[in-house]
Amino acid sequence: MTVCNMTIEGGARAGMIAPDETTFAYLEGRSFVPRGKAFQEAVERWSCFKSDGSAHFDMKVELQASRLLRKSLGAPIPAWSQA
């Protein structure tokens, strides 16, 4: 979900990443999410949200998050951030 937000902030008009089991586990039991059988039916519908197997992409980007430097903001001014 964060990556989708970053896509929009980068100037895209839409950002979508197909939901996976981690996403479904995160959603289960949360407010405004169906429960019980209705949740399982929703997961079946949500599982259809993915790219077609024959979809063409201009670019594929893979990131190794473990190799990225962490940044944390200590204040609301980006210049004050610390690596």
Cα torsion through 59, 68, 73, 82, rounded to 10? -130
**DSSP state at residue 76:** S
pLDDT values of the chain reduced to their tens digit, one per residue, 83 residues: 677 778 888 888 877 788 999 999 999 999 999 999 999 999 999 999 888 889 888 888 888 888 888 776 566 666 665 55
The torsion region of residue 20 among left (phi > 0), alpha (psi -120 to 50) and beta comes to beta
Question: Do 9 and 20 contact (CB within 8 A), yes or no?
Answer: no
The rounded Cα 63 to chain-centroid distance in angstroms is 14
The pTM for the full model equals: 0.56
Q: What confidence score (pLDDT) does residue 52 get?
A: 84
